[in-house]
C-alpha cells in the first residue's frame, strides 16, 4: 500500500507564489483596507497610554538598567 499523497504533493517555495496584485490582508480576512477605512480604524485607538501602563513600563526599564 502506498502512503496517501506521497506522489502527488508538489513542493513550492514562497518565491513561487505571485502576490504582486493581491491585497493579502483583504484576501486572508476579508478586510477591505481602503485609505478611509484605515484612517477611521486608527482613530479608534488611544494614542496616549494609560498612566498605570506607563508606570509599569518605567519600572521594568529601571530594573534592567
pLDDT (tens digit per residue) in 15-46: 777 777 777 777 777 766 666 777 787 788 87
8 inside domain: no
> Residue 56 and residue 53: Cα distance in Å, rounded?
5
CB 26 within 8 A of CB 33: yes
E strands present in 1-65: none
47 inside domain: yes
In the chain, the number of structural domains is: 1
Does the pTM exceed 0.75?
no
3 inside domain: no
Give the domain range for residue 38.
20-64
26 inside domain: yes
* Residue 58: pLDDT over 90: yes
Q: Minimum mean pLDDT among 4-8, 14-18, 39-43, 54-58: which range?
A: 4-8
Which whole-number Å values give the CA distances from 6 to 41, 51, 57, 63, in the listed order?
A: 46, 57, 51, 54
4 inside domain: no
> Residue 51 and residue 54: Cα distance in Å, rounded?
5
pLDDT value at residue 33 = 64
Which whole-number Å values give the CA distances from 31 to 19, 20, 53, 65, in the listed order?
A: 17, 18, 30, 42
14 inside domain: no
Amino acid at each position: 500500500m502506498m502512503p496517501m499523497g506521497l506522489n502527488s504533493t508538489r513542493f513550492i517555495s514562497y518565491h513561487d507564489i505571485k502576490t504582486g496584485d493581491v491585497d493579502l490582508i483583504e484576501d486572508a480576512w476579508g478586510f477591505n483596507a481602503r485609505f478611509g477605512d484605515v484612517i477611521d480604524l486608527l482613530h479608534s485607538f488611544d494614542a496616549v497610554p494609560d498612566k498605570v501602563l506607563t508606570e509599569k513600563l518605567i519600572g521594568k526599564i529601571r530594573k534592567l538598567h
